[in-house]
Amino acid sequence: MADVISISLLGILLLALYLHGIFRHKIEYGIQQIPELDSPNFAAILLGLSNSFFARADIAGFWSEPDAIYRARLAAIKTAQHTIHFETFYMTPGRRADEFAAALRNRALAGVKVQLLVDRFGVIKLPKNYWQQLRQAGVEVRFFHLFHWKDPLGYLERTHRKLIIIDGRVALIGGMGVSDDWEGSKETGYTAPWLDTEIQFAGPIVATLEGSFIRHWMYAGGFACLNLNEDRSMPGSIEVMVTASDSEAKVSPISTLLWMSILAARERVWIASPYFLLDANCRKALKQARHRGVDVRVLTVGPRNDKKLVYYAVRERYEDLLRSGIEIYEYQPSMMHAKVMLCDRQWVTLGSANFDPRSFFHNDEINFSLRESQLIKRVDRFFLDAFANSRLIENVTWRSRPFWQRFLGRLTLFFRWQL
C-alpha cells in the first residue's frame, strides 16, 4: 500500500512539473553582428528585443546596506502627503515588519491613500491580525495570486517586485523584502547583514512605475484611481530602460536583456546574483565573452545563505564556467542577495530579478538599465568591496566538495524551475 501511495505521489509531482513546462523545448538564441554597448543603436535594438521602454529619470539615492535601505524607505513613507503605493514579495514577523506597519498606519490615519500589494506566498508567515490592524487604520491591502482550486498552478506565479512609490514623486526599487532576516541572526549561523541594493528614482519615470503598480493592483481586485500626483517639475536628466517581465511571457524579457548585454560587452561583465542558475543562452554568452578576453566575474552566495539546497544546485553549475576562465566569488560574511550586472564602463542593470529560471519565466519582475557615471562608480565600488569579502573558487577545491552536496545539488537542479 505504501509503495502505491509513493508511486502515485511521484506521478502527481511529475504531472504537475510537466503541466508547468519543466520539460518544455529550450530555445537556443542565434544572433550576429552585435553592436557594442556604447553604440547609439545598442539600446534601441535591445528595447525591442526585451520588450522594454525608456523613461526619463533622476537618481535620488543608492544604497547597499540593509539598515540604510530601511531608513531610506521609512523616511520616504513619512513624507507622503497624498499616496503610498507599496508592492513587495517577502515579509516576515519581526521588528522591521512592525516598523513598516506603524509607518503605513500613521500615514493612513493622516489621510494618505495607502495601497499595499503583497505576494500571498511571500507573506505567509505573517498572522491575520497584522493585516487587520493595517486595514483598521485605513490601509488598503491586496494579495497577489491567492490560491484557488480552479487554477492551482497559478499559485506558483508570483510578483517578486519590491516597489515603493510616494506621492508620484519618488520611487524606491531593489531586491530587499521587509524582514529581520536581512540583518543576520545567530539562528541562521551568520550575524553580519545581508548584501543587497536599492535605488531611488525621481522624475517622469515615477508616473510610469505608478502605471506598473496599478496594473498589478487591479489584477488583485483593487480599485485604481488615475488622479495621480506625479511631480512634473523634474524633466529627468538621464534615460532609463525599464524591463518589466510578466510570468505569462513566452520569451523572457529579463533573460533577453542579460543575454544581449553580455554579448555586447568588450571589457568586463560583473554579475551579482544569489541564485545563479542562468539559462543556456546566457551561460553560452558568458563563455563566449570570456573567450573574447572580457573580464567575467560572478558574485554569488557562499556557505552562509538562506537556501542551502539552491546553493548546492548553483555549485553544480560551476564546472564549465571555471573551465572557461570565469571567476566565481562566493560571498563569505553573510547572505548575498543583490541582483546587479555591470558591463564595461557604461552599462548597469539592477532590480528585482534573480538570474534564475523562476525570475525569468514564473515571476513578475522589474529591472532598470542605464548609463550614469556616478551610479556606475558606486556599483563598481560595491563589487570591489564584495569581491574583497568573498572566496575565489578554484577548480581543485570545487571538485573536492562532499558527495552528499553533489547529490543534493543535482537533485535540486531537476526542480530549478520552481526554486
Of 203, 219, 235, which residue constitutes the final position of a domain?
A: 219
Mean pLDDT of 224-237: 66
pLDDT tens for each residue of 138-183? 999 999 977 666 666 666 778 999 999 999 999 999 999 999 999 9
Residues 6+ positions from 220 with CB-CB distance below 8 Å: 117, 142, 143, 144
The reply to whether 235 falls in a domain is no
The answer to whether residues 48 and 160 belong to one domain is: no
Look up the domain containing 353 and give its range.
Answer: 26-52+245-418
Confidence of residue 38 (pLDDT cuts 50, 70, 90): confident
Of 219, 254, 276, which residue constitutes the final position of a domain?
A: 219
Among 49-53, 60-64, 137-141, the minimum mean pLDDT is found in 49-53
The reply to whether 224 falls in a domain is no
The answer to whether residues 45 and 71 belong to one domain is: no
The answer to whether residues 288 and 359 belong to one domain is: yes
Residues 6+ positions from 138 with CB-CB distance below 8 Å: 105, 108, 109, 114
The reply to whether 17 falls in a domain is no
* HSE value, Cβ hemisphere, 13 Å, CA-based, for 162: 27
The reply to whether 291 falls in a domain is yes
The answer to whether residues 45 and 117 belong to one domain is: no
**How many helices (H) and strands (E) in the chain?**
14, 16
The reply to whether 362 falls in a domain is yes
The answer to whether residues 152 and 184 belong to one domain is: yes
Q: Would you state the pLDDT for residue 382?
A: 98
The reply to whether 329 falls in a domain is yes
Kindly tell me if the per-residue pLDDT of 353 is higher than 90: yes
| Percent of the chain whose predicted confidence (pLDDT) is above 70 | 86
Of 172, 201, 219, which residue constitutes the final position of a domain?
A: 219
Confidence of residue 236 (pLDDT cuts 50, 70, 90): confident
Confidence of residue 37 (pLDDT cuts 50, 70, 90): confident
pLDDT tens for each residue of 360-380? 888 899 999 999 999 999 999
The answer to whether residues 42 and 118 belong to one domain is: no
CATH number at residue 61: 3.30.870.10
The answer to whether residues 204 and 126 belong to one domain is: yes
Among residues 238, 308, 226, the alpha carbon closest in space to that of 275 is found at: 308
The reply to whether 276 falls in a domain is yes
The answer to whether residues 77 and 36 belong to one domain is: no
Q: Would you state the pLDDT for residue 36?
A: 79
The answer to whether residues 302 and 349 belong to one domain is: yes
Kindly tell me if the per-residue pLDDT of 43 is higher than 90: no
pLDDT tens for each residue of 102-128? 999 999 999 999 999 999 999 999 999
pLDDT tens for each residue of 248-276? 666 789 999 999 999 999 999 999 999 99
The answer to whether residues 395 and 262 belong to one domain is: yes
CA dihedral over 27, 30, 35, 36, signed as positive or negative? positive
Residue 401 cell numbers, joined: 566538495
The answer to whether residues 376 and 409 belong to one domain is: yes
Number of domains in the chain: 2
Residue 324 cell numbers, joined: 572557461
The answer to whether residues 261 and 384 belong to one domain is: yes
The reply to whether 240 falls in a domain is no
